[in-house]
Structure formats: C-alpha cells, structure tokens
Amino acid sequence: MSEIVDVLFEEKGHAGLIILNRAKALNALSHEMVVAMHAKLERWLIDDAIHHVIIKSNSEKAFCAGGDIRQVALNGPEKVDESLPFFADEYRLNVYMESYAKPLIALIDGIVMGGGVGISVHGAYRVGSEKTMFAMPETAIGFFPDVGGSHFLPNMPQYTGMYCAMTGERLRQADCYWTGILTHAVHSQDMLALEDALCSAEDVEPVLARYAFDPGPAPLHVKADVVEECFGAESTLEIVGQLKQLLGSDHDDFAAAALETISKRSPLSVEVAFQQVRRGAGLAMKDCMIMEHRIVSQILLGKDFYEGVRAVIIDKDHAPKWQHESLDVIKTVDVEAHFMPPKGGDLVF
C-alpha cells in the first residue's frame, strides 16, 4: 500500500491497481496524489509481474471529479509560482499515461470530470457503467478544459468536443461510448467481477469483450448534425450566431439551452477554450500539453478563475462577475496572451 492515503496501490494477479481513495472530496486530485501515481507507474513499467494497470475508485459516487483547485484559487495570483507546479506535474502525468507501454484500464463507475478525465481518457481502455457522468465544465469557473482536452476533444465526432468544451455538457454512458470517451460499456453491478477477471488475465481484451454490452442509441448522436452545424463555425461569435438562427426552429430547445449556458460562462474562458480545441487538432499529446501549460500560466494571472471558484465552489452564490461582459468585447491580444510561452518557460518533460 502507498503511504499517500488518498491514493492506494495494490498488486493483484497480473495487475497493478491504482485506487482513488478520497471519497469525501469525490477523489479530487491533489498534487501529492499526482506525484504518487506517476512514481508508481514508472516502477510498474519495469516490473515484469505487472502486465497491465487498473485505475479505479473507492467512492460510490465518483471516479474522480477533477483537480483540487480550491487551494490554487486561495493562493491567488500573487502565489502563481506555488500553484503552477501542481499543473505541471499533472500534465506530465497525463502525457506519461498517454504513451504508457502497458495497458491502462480505467474503471469508471460514477462522475468523471476535469482531472479525472485526464487520468482515464488517455489510457488504452476506458470502461464505463450506466453511472458514468462525464463533463469538462471548466469554463463555468473561468478556467479551460485542460488535462489533455486539446488532444481528445478535437477527436470527438462532429464537433461534439467543441460543444462540450464551450458548454460543459454532461454526457452519460451511451454518449461517452459513441464519442469515444469510453472504449467499453459495462453494467455497474459487474464492475467488481470485471476487476477480478482483469487481475487474473494476462490478456485483457477477451475479458473486456466478455463483460461489455451495447449501451444503445446516444442522445448526443441524435443532435450531432445540428451540433456540427453550429459548433463547427470559424469563431465563437459565429457559433452564437448559428445558435440564434435556430431559435424558433425544430432545434429551438437545443439552441436556447446552449445560448443560455454560454452566456453564463466566462467569456474569456469560452474564447480560450475555442482556440485551444481548434489549435489542438492534429497536435501530438506533448505539444498539446505545452500549449495547455501556457494557457494555465496566463489564466492564473487573470481574474476570472479566482472569481469563478469563489462563485461556484467557495461562496456558492453562482453569480460570478466576469472580467468581460460578453464575447464580442474580448480583444485578440487578450486571447493570444494565453498561447505565448510563460515567463518561467515552457513545460519540460
């Protein structure tokens, strides 16, 4: 077992198990958890007894609800130098997992958001139950869909990744399977048996195939054409314009909900997220994470992240006062600052 009680490590059969053990915080990732996971993965990589690695949760509600950003926000812009190492190490872990030479299997039986997506979606196998609820809701707190969002969101079909990045849309099992966030759908009641079978197996694919099932039609697939029509536009203002054109049409409910959501998000975060997803398409994982490190280095110097965390997580009044009133008042120079090398230099792996 690990000395870091918020994340436990076991070796069982042919598998190494990473067990997220911070249930009261919905397994929100701390800096210590990130460092411990990276170190254990490095050791297991050279251990011939470990054929594959399983990542699971001890929480009945969540796989992992994200990174522990409360302390980052409390540090404020004056202590960016203290906050950035957490993100740097988290992003290094994401890159390491994406290129890990042994199969990584995430067993997702609940909420998976933000940092939780980062420690699952980049692995070879993402197995989700009917309790799976995915979201990248960062624009609601003045942040951006990091932990490799710029790598996997552009690969989701028909601009559904852009839609999720800008709106924080919540996806359930069938949607996650259709978009590729999940590689396999299983029943929640079968998760423990699947885990045992994976630990006993040398080859995981037949085991996963035995427990997997077709989760059925994806609600997001039904509206994918209209998502593509709107969120495939060349700018955020064009996306808003496309949505407004759908008001009063057969797609009125979708358009109205998307417009209302975007209007409540940090305009600067929405613009940065849009640019991030567009620029990430086609980039290698490391290049995406260098870009995301640039973004977070600038975000932590601004105002919206701290205001967003205050409004949503600390005071919970859900009434943030964003730096910009709307998308159309944002200057290009303010956005481009997020894509320039930071003062401390680019992320090094």
* 115 annotated active-site: yes
Indicate whether 22 belongs to any domain: yes
* Active-site entry in 110, 114, 115, 302: 115
| 33 inside domain | yes
Residue 225: is it exposed, middle or buried by C-beta count within 10 angstroms (0-12/13-18/19+)?
Answer: exposed
Which listed residue (138, 169, 271, 307) is catalytic?
Answer: 138
Tell me if 349 is assigned to some domain: no
Does some domain include residue 324? yes
Q: Name the amino acid, one letter, at 209.
A: A
Indicate whether 119 belongs to any domain. yes
User: Does residue 146 have an active-site annotation?
Assistant: yes
- Which helix (DSSP H) or strand (DSSP E) does residue 46 occupy? none
**Any idea which residue has 């409390």 for tokens?**
74
Residue-range definition of the domain harbouring residue 197: 7-339
Calculate helix-pair angle for 80-98, 31-45, nearest 10 degrees.
30
Domain-embedded: residue 314: yes
Residue that is written with structure tokens 């029509």 in the block: 229
Exactly one of 6, 68, 146, 292 is catalytic; name it: 146
Q: Is 67 one of the annotated active-site residues of the chain?
A: yes
What are the tens digits of pLDDT across the range 38-53? Answer: 999 999 999 999 999 9
What's the token pair of residue 104?
A: 């990584």
For the segment 104-120, what is each residue's pLDDT rounded down to a tens digit? 999 999 999 999 999 99
Q: Return mean pLDDT, the chain.
A: 97
Structural domain total, the chain: 1
Amino acid making up residue 121: V
CATH code, domain with 219: 3.90.226.10
62 within domain boundaries: yes
Q: Are 8 and 2 in contact (CB under 8 A)?
A: yes
pLDDT value, residue 3: 56
Q: For the whole model, what pTM was predicted?
A: 0.96
End-to-end CA distance of the chain: 27
Specify if 117 maps to a domain. yes
Contacts of 70 (CB under 8 A, 6+ apart): 309, 313, 314
- Among 6, 16, 66, 67, the active-site one is 67
